[in-house]
Amino acid sequence: MHVIDAGAPDWQEQSQAVYAVLKELDAAEKPMITVMNKTDTLVGPAKFQQLFWKAGSVGISAKEGSGLESLFAAMDELLGRLNQTATLLIPYEESGRLNLLFEQAVVQSKEYKPEGIEVKALLPPAVAGQLAAFIISGKEPKD
């Protein structure tokens, strides 16, 4: 999430500095939500220019609490694109791996079968990587 102070006169320069650092870190292409904060300080056409300067940007006012629903919706959409819905079959001798699922994924169902524990879950990329050997079916995340 890249939060920009929309009320700052030099917000564009500050934003470009952030992108420059992200590029240096090879992180410029990572999925990101751009959040224009302090929209309560903006008036007139400048408000719309700043709010929609980048595709996928969201305008909020933390002070007034406005725009938060849009921010949460953008977060849900982004996470939905990154996460993978999968069915895993965890052998009983590997049952300790369930902790990882319950701590870092969204477990939708769990069923005990003769060959192991079948779990349907929404997996963040890191968890999907760690448990790739146990995934028996699933939908790859959207790019």
The model scores a pTM over 0.95: no
Give 83-139's CATH code, choosing from 1.10.1060, 3.30.70, 2.60.40, 1.10.3470: 3.30.70
Q: Indicate if the pLDDT at residue 20 is higher than 90.
A: yes
Residues 108, 120: contact at Cβ < 8 Å?
A: yes
**pLDDT tens, residue by residue, 43-76:** 776 666 656 666 678 888 889 989 899 899 988 8
Residue extents of the structural domains in the chain: 2-80, 83-139
What DSSP letter does each residue of 36-80 carry, written as one string?
Answer: EE-GGG--THHHHHHHTSSTT-EE-BTTTTBTHHHHHHHHHHHHH
- Give the list of residues 6+ apart from residue 43 with CB closer than 8 angstroms, or none: none
Q: What is the distance between the terminal CA atoms of the chain, rounded to a whole angstrom?
A: 17
Q: What percent of the chain has pLDDT over 90?
A: 42
3-state secondary structure of 90: strand
Higher pLDDT pick, 30 / 87: 87
